[in-house]
Chain A
Amino acid sequence: GEDVEQSLFLSVREGDSSVINCTYTDSSSTYLYWYKQEPGAGLQLLTYIFSNMDMKQDQRLTVLLNKKDKHLSLRIADTQTGDSAIYFCAGRYNTDKLIFGTGTRLQVFP
């Protein structure tokens, strides 16, 4: 079945890079996503990667996909306090539904 795991918490200093990790069990997902959820807000799509890609860069965001290890990561360069939020990885499977990870709370301190 589909199962997506993330570490629960990450704390970084402003200006440093953040790396949020995600592991999944079902490799049939065609797309893998990263969403951001700020307090009291909905889910904002940050970026996505096709399953046939290894890496995707989008401004301060870099997504790495290791299909062999079923591991996905999101790197945020020059992390800012405005990046403090909960980050979810998600896979999209044959029925269109999104399977979300457990979420990683990123806290950025000055």
Chain B
Amino acid sequence: DSGVTQTPKHLITATGQRVTLRCSPRSGDLSVYWYQQSLDQGLQFLIQYYNGEERAKGNILERFSAQQFPDLHSELNLSSLELGDSALYFCASSVGLGAQYEQYFGPGTRLTVT
């Protein structure tokens, strides 16, 4: 158990809908990362937050947005869902900035868009 929790574990929804994925980092971790794992694109970085502020952006679609709240939990919002958005979404956390800090991964949320 990494200490990172993600809810829900599974989510099935229809095209055009909007969903919110939630991540609680390890206690004391200030940085949160979101990754998407799909058959087409593999594992790719979406976005990073540090202490409530956006820190880095990767291949995140405009239909997707995220935020980190004062209690450090993070939410990833996916809207106007398409079939191709079906994927496993991982959240990771680390205590600080910099490559010397390990990223701990949550178990993921499996999103199925029908």
Of B2, B55, B103, the contact of A95 (CB 8 Å cutoff): B55
B102 interface hit (Cβ, 8 Å)? yes
Q: How far is the CA of A88 from the CA of B35 in the complex (A)?
A: 14
Within 8 A of B (CB), among A79-97: 88, 92, 95-97
Asked if A97 and B33 make an inter-chain contact with CB atoms under 8 angstroms apart, the answer reads: yes
Stretch at the interface among B14-22, B40-48, B63-71, B72-80: B40-48
B8 interface hit (Cβ, 8 Å)? no
Q: How far is the CA of A45 from the CA of B94 in the complex (A)?
A: 13
Q: How far is the CA of A30 from the CA of B101 in the complex (A)?
A: 12
Residues of B at under 8 Å CB distance from A?
2, 4, 31, 33, 35, 42-45, 48, 55-56, 58, 90, 92, 94, 97-100, 102-108
Of B56, B97, B102, B107, the contact of A42 (CB 8 Å cutoff): B107
Asked if A100 and B48 make an inter-chain contact with CB atoms under 8 angstroms apart, the answer reads: no
Q: How far is the CA of A96 from the CA of B96 in the complex (A)?
A: 10
* A30-B99 contact given A42-B2, A95-B48, A97-B45, CB 8 Å threshold: yes
Asked if A100 and B43 make an inter-chain contact with CB atoms under 8 angstroms apart, the answer reads: yes
Q: How far is the CA of A92 from the CA of B92 in the complex (A)?
A: 14
* A96-B31 contact given A42-B105, A42-B108, A43-B105, CB 8 Å threshold: yes
* A92-B99 contact given A42-B105, A43-B90, A97-B56, CB 8 Å threshold: yes
- 5 closest Cβ pairs, A-B complex: A100-B43, A95-B56, A97-B45, A43-B105, A92-B99
* Binding site secondary structure of chain A: strand
Q: How far is the CA of A98 from the CA of B36 in the complex (A)?
A: 12
Asked if B107 and A41 make an inter-chain contact with CB atoms under 8 angstroms apart, the answer reads: yes
Asked if A96 and B97 make an inter-chain contact with CB atoms under 8 angstroms apart, the answer reads: yes
Q: Tell me the smallest distance from the CB of A42 to a CB of chain B, in Å.
A: 4
In the complex, which residues of chain B have a beta carbon less than 8 angstroms from the beta carbon of A31? 99-100
Q: How far is the CA of A103 from the CA of B35 in the complex (A)?
A: 15
Q: How far is the CA of A45 from the CA of B42 in the complex (A)?
A: 17
